[in-house]
């Protein structure tokens, strides 16, 4: 499937087309217990750094229809997928230091064709890539891959000799997978599940490309509201499920949350 605007093999934007730049502002929206109300956090991006991870420890999948043609959700460790190896090691996508000042945004690509892939966001809800109906679905299992919106691997990368990951696995098409870890509450794992659609066995590898943002929280409420409404330069990112009002963010960030409604957002 080809996007006639970008000339990409995937219908989704490349991660390199949507990431923020140094000196940009970011508004992070996450859940609120009140319907149609969001919690907004404002940040100034003080530094950006490209981040690339190549996952070469393979996830082995049996031919389609055979036992072992799928694996359930597990994080990608330095030694492999946590559901397929006994000691997966440290997670590849972790934030080691600077958790209180770091946001990372990833595009993640599956390198092989004929694989379905799904990912869970930090609070355990399934993020649907090719979405139909509900944008998230609890209780997602191997039998749900064909019917509940798992992403075709070909859509997770652009075409061409040098493949670039797209935003297909993200919650919205204009952002990548957002990674935030809390120093107090630990890591917010990305968990991936795979299903083989090919007639032969496959060894799945992945390529992730993204940007690490060093950010400074905006503490002035009026300034955050100006950012939300688009009166100043900003980019909107969403994070976690809308029912999760405390999605394991760095503790000090919660002091600067501002409640906003749809009327405050100018998209």
The distance of Cα 248 from the centroid of its chain, to the nearest Å, equals: 15
The answer to whether residue 180 is domain-embedded is yes
The answer to whether residue 63 is domain-embedded is yes
DSSP secondary structure letter of residue 232: S
Structural domain that includes position 249: 15-264
| pLDDT tens, N- to C-terminus, the chain (267 residues) | 344 444 456 788 999 999 998 888 999 998 888 878 889 999 999 999 999 999 998 899 999 999 999 998 899 999 999 999 999 999 999 998 899 999 999 999 999 999 999 888 765 666 654 333 344 445 666 667 776 668 899 999 987 666 899 999 987 889 999 999 987 778 888 989 999 999 999 999 999 999 999 999 999 999 999 999 989 889 999 887 776 778 889 999 999 999 998 888 765
The answer to whether residue 209 is domain-embedded is yes
The answer to whether residue 174 is domain-embedded is yes
Count of structural domains within the chain: 1
- Region label for 161, one of left (φ > 0), alpha (ψ between -120 and 50) or beta (otherwise): alpha
The answer to whether residue 234 is domain-embedded is yes
The answer to whether residue 119 is domain-embedded is yes
The answer to whether residue 10 is domain-embedded is no
Q: What is the DSSP string of 14-65?
A: BGGGT---TT-EEEEEE--SSTT-EEEEEEEEEEEEEEEEEEEEEEEEPPTT
Entry pTM = 0.87
């Amino acid at each position: 499937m080809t996007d006639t605007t970008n000339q990409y093999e995937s219908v989704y934007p490349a991660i390199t087309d949507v990431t923020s730049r140094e000196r940009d502002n970011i508004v992070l929206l996450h859940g609120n217990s009140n319907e149609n109300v969001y919690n907004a956090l404002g940040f100034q991006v003080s530094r950006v750094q490209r981040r690339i991870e190549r996952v070469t420890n393979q996830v082995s999948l049996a031919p389609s229809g055979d036992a072992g043609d799928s694996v359930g959700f597990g994080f990608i460790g330095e030694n492999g997928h946590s559901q397929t190896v006994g000691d997966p090691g440290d997670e590849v996508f972790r934030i080691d230091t600077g958790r209180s000042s770091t946001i990372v945004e990833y595009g993640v690509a599956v390198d092989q064709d004929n694989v379905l892939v799904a990912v869970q966001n930090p609070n355990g809800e399934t993020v649907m890539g090719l979405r139909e109906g509900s944008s998230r679905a609890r209780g997602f299992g191997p039998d749900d891959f064909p019917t509940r919106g798992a992403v075709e691997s070909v859509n997770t990368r652009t075409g061409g000799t040098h493949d670039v990951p797209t935003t297909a696995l993200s919650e919205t098409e204009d952002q990548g997978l957002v990674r935030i870890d809390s120093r107090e509450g630990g890591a917010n794992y990305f968990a991936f599940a795979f299903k083989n659609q090919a007639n032969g066995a496959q060894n799945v590898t992945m390529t992730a490309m993204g940007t690490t943002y060093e950010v400074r929280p905006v503490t002035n409420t009026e300034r955050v509201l100006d950012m939300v409404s688009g009166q100043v330069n900003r980019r909107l990112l969403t994070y976690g499920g809308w029912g999760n009002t405390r999605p394991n963010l760095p503790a000090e960030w919660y002091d600067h949350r501002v409640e906003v409604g749809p009327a405050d957002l100018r998209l």
